[in-house]
Structure 1
């Protein structure tokens, strides 16, 4: 990649980064579709005559009470399965910091500022709505999250293929977003601390790190240790998903001599399908099942708490990310990729307003003592995410032909060497290969023309 390309905002990705991105987003897209299916199934199940069975399954308790783990199915999904999701998020963050878009402080400034503004603005919108409407400010963190899987599922459903630079920007936003969501959960939603359990979890993490440093291998070592760390973290009062993040951050995500992929990337490749295809959809199944009626929908837009969540996701996210990006680009003098335009950035910012998974989790934590209010906030998250998805889809569809042309150019490989031609344009050998290909095509065309001419001459010659 040339120096001029590196200084561009939303410029061309390096080929390894592009391939990693394509592999990661492919899995997330499939997981996002499953997430949508699970959310719809939960809503149908919770709004039909058999809704009592939904509540019975959701509230069914299982687990060893002697270890403090006699939890409901919903609780297991939120604290247990989402630990897998945050484990993958931790690996993603580590990789971005050492090998991805966040490794260069100058290049990282734009997505980091955009993500911070994209979390601050929704929180501010929520607080303003609730201060004016005399509501509760406890849910200020609910609209701050972005759900990358849900966003990619929306792209898959509407048939829009974003250029890799925009997809990378969206993924980087989500990774930084996840980091701050983790910090919010750890700082603001920690119960009374059990220092004995917390010390045990810290000791377990130290052993985990030591084994990694010594190069010890084998899932039969790390999986039982991870379960022990998770159980201790849960009993410590710190949200158990923090254990997943901590272990993900400890994995090595840089390659050494002779390695095609780092251990972190290899493990992420193995665990991501479990997270995207099982853990997150199952969490959605037991968290998105809220009662939806015309009155409930009306209440979402009249109650300050729920209205703050909706406006935070739809308005706060879009304005925060777009405004933060524009200001950061202006002050750093970053040049926008000339093939894209600022409306493209605004469309992606609007798409980031889909805050499904982590928003539902934070909603449960923020209003844990009030089941009715928790369901109302969940309904607000669903409605806000839906509005953001529809709005972003309209904006993206307006530019769909441009995106299709850019994606086709990124994928073009006329010499069929497995490397897109756009990455070889500055290589003299590439131009020689292309000249040979064009000469071969021209020669074949001349031969066909000569054969066709000879055939016509033979037909016209008298018998």
Structure 2
């Protein structure tokens, strides 16, 4: 029998309880990401920089027989582990579209418009610096918002920003993810191979059937997802797209309608309660109640709940550790004027805040939607500045754009770090000095996201 927490040794609760509290805090993943990036940057510029490079260049093989894929450690992180990250992103997108904050056109309109501005303007600013050069391939680098860092900053502000604006930024980041996924799929592949695409389509059809049949086994989806990843990897589309497609195929609703299950539980519970004190309740009857409750939980919720901590506190920091390590030796003031560096930094810092704020402000003024939480315009601008934190997906796209051109990848990474840091510091500082004044929302000014 499992001991209660009160019966556990004090040293156990002193160590484990704070760790559990840490894992429950979504914003902590942003702090861990920052720490991983700093460690990588320090390691790459230390006397042990050679070990960092050698570790990432180490090669190994995944698979068996003829179905083998050869990776360096860096490729395994970027192509393999990040597929799990995008799997969770795909499930979160589906949940928001089916039962969440984006499940109707009215709710989705404002964050969709804001995300469009936050993707188009940064890309245009980037191209102002890099059009006509090899660096133009990185035009999508400043398009995406890093939700972990963004929510981390908003959490540190402790209620100075209305919850409606926090939800608005989260929904905006979901649309950013959709845009980033489309860009990766359409523009950063390496030549399409029709037969492999046809095989991948067959796996997707099977997954759609599994969804329709409400298959709940994680093992089944894991095997189908691995096969889909392998086919897409050979089809010429970046393999992480397999994670997104798999996420969209996971059932987002329970096996039975909620009302039906609750009615059955009501009848069953009334029968058990009505028994005499001498009649014991069998374990089988308790298990029956548990099984009916499990019917309420969609597989999507279960998978997100199981994987989210591993992604937030494992995969994303490992990705930062593998990609933020950039040697600064030989850097000079002239290096800071590199077009790719300026395009990435200015696109994130200026492009994101102006695109998100202007598109949102015009949409509200035009009557397409109301201000989230009836917040002041100054707070809307503050959170718009924070959307320029584009760390994770920006680094990912930079790696795709300049994988074979380290002379361009280096400036892109520095630009991402500078643009994201400037956006985080400026956005946090602005929201910190603003009065936490939030007008009570009227029914007509309800939250549009």
Q: Could you tell me the TM-score, scaled by structure 1's length?
A: 0.77
- Deviation by residue 1:127-176 (Cα, 9 ceiling, x = unmatched): 11224x96732111001111101222334456666332111111101100
Q: Which residue of 1 aligns with 2:320?
A: 284
- Deviation by residue 1:179-237 (Cα, 9 ceiling, x = unmatched): 01000000001112233332222222222222232233322222222222212211221
1:285 match: secondary structure = helix
2:388 match: secondary structure = coil
Contact 1:119 1:317 (8 Å CA) reproduced: yes
Q: Which residue of 2 aligns with 1:351?
A: 386
Q: Which residue of 2 aligns with 1:460?
A: none
1:81 match: secondary structure = helix
Q: Which residue of 2 aligns with 1:143?
A: 142
The reply to whether residue 395 of structure 1 matches residue 430 of structure 2 is yes
Give the Cα separation in 1 of the matches to 2:334 and 2:67: 41
Q: Which residue of 1 aligns with 2:51?
A: 53
Q: Give unpaired runs (5+ residues) of structure 2.
A: 1-20, 262-294, 444-449
Give the Cα separation in 2 of the matches to 1:50 and 1:182: 36
- Give the drift of 1:401: 4.1
CA distance 1:192–1:337, shift in 2 (3 Å): closer
CA distance 1:373–1:218, shift in 2 (3 Å): same
TM alignment of 1:19-418, pairs within 5 A: 28-64=26-62, 66-67=66-67, 69-131=69-131, 136-156=135-155, 162-255=161-254, 256-257=257-258, 258=261, 260-292=296-328, 296=331, 298-299=333-334, 301-336=336-371, 339-399=374-434, 401-402=436-437
Q: Could you tell me the TM-score, scaled by structure 2's length?
A: 0.79
Give the Cα separation in 2 of the matches to 1:104 and 1:211: 26
Q: Give unpaired runs (5+ residues) of structure 1.
A: 1-22, 411-421, 424-463
Contact 2:352 2:387 (8 Å CA) reproduced: yes
CA distance 1:332–1:156, shift in 2 (3 Å): closer
- Give the drift of 1:400: 6.1
1:137 match: secondary structure = helix
- When structure 1 is superposed on structure 2, of 52-61 and 26-35 the one drifting more is 26-35
2:331 match: secondary structure = helix
- Give the drift of 1:108: 1.5
CA distance 1:297–1:93, shift in 2 (3 Å): farther
- Give the drift of 1:353: 0.3
CA distance 1:163–1:263, shift in 2 (3 Å): farther
CA distance 1:134–1:371, shift in 2 (3 Å): closer
Contact 1:58 1:74 (8 Å CA) reproduced: yes
- Give the drift of 1:250: 1.4
- Give the drift of 1:26: 5.6
Give the Cα separation in 2 of the matches to 1:355 and 1:379: 12
Contact 2:214 2:251 (8 Å CA) reproduced: no
Give the Cα separation in 1 of the matches to 2:31 and 2:302: 24
Give the Cα separation in 1 of the matches to 2:57 and 2:236: 21
CA distance 1:340–1:156, shift in 2 (3 Å): closer
CA distance 1:330–1:71, shift in 2 (3 Å): same
